[in-house]
Amino acid sequence: MKVKDLSGNYGFEAITLPDGDREIDGVYIGDLLSWVMGRAKSGNAWITIMSNVNILAVASLADTSCIILAEDVTLEDDVIKTAIDKEINILKTSMDIYSAAVTLSSVI
């Protein structure tokens, strides 16, 4: 499934979608950024509750297909700007991390 096809469906909504044609390949979950950095795989949708600008660097390094912010976590404007600038897809959901993962598991 492409990231853009997830946006607006199943409870996920895009905050930024500069690279919507990116294919989602698996899911990674984690909030300790240095840990995620070495373990998330290229193409993974990464579910987290962290909202610091550093998540963009981690997503960029790990080459994830998108960041999914769970539990209605919001981003500051400058983080959104940087995400667009660095072409990083970000989606949000009101689901908790477990529900988001279960939902993804059935649709991707």
Partner 1 sequence: MKELSLNILDITENSVKAGATLTEISLCENEDTMVLTITDNGSGMTEEILKGVADPFYTTRTTRKVGLGIPLLKLACEQTGGSLEISSKHIEKFPDNHGTKVSATFYKNHIDCVPLGDVVETVKTLIQGHPDTDFKFSHKTENGEVALDTRELRQMLEDVPLNTYEVIKWIEEYLREQYLEIQKA
Positions that interact with partner 1 (CB under 8 A): 32-35, 37, 52-54, 56-58, 60-61, 82, 86
The Cα 108–Cα 106 span in angstroms is: 6
> 45 or 88: whose CB is closer to partner 1?
88
Our CB check for partner 1 shows the closer of 61 and 102 to be 61
Q: Which helix (H) or strand (E) holds 37?
A: helix 33-39
Q: Based on CB atoms, which residue is closest to partner 1, 54 or 105?
A: 54
**Chain center to CA of 8:** 14
| Cβ contact 104:35 at 8 Å | no
Q: What is the largest CA-CA distance in the chain?
A: 33
How far apart are CB 86 and partner 1 at their closest, in Å?
Answer: 7
Shortest distance (Å) from residue 101 CB to partner 1: 22
Q: How far is the CB of 104 from partner 1 (least distance, A)?
A: 26
Residue type, 5: D
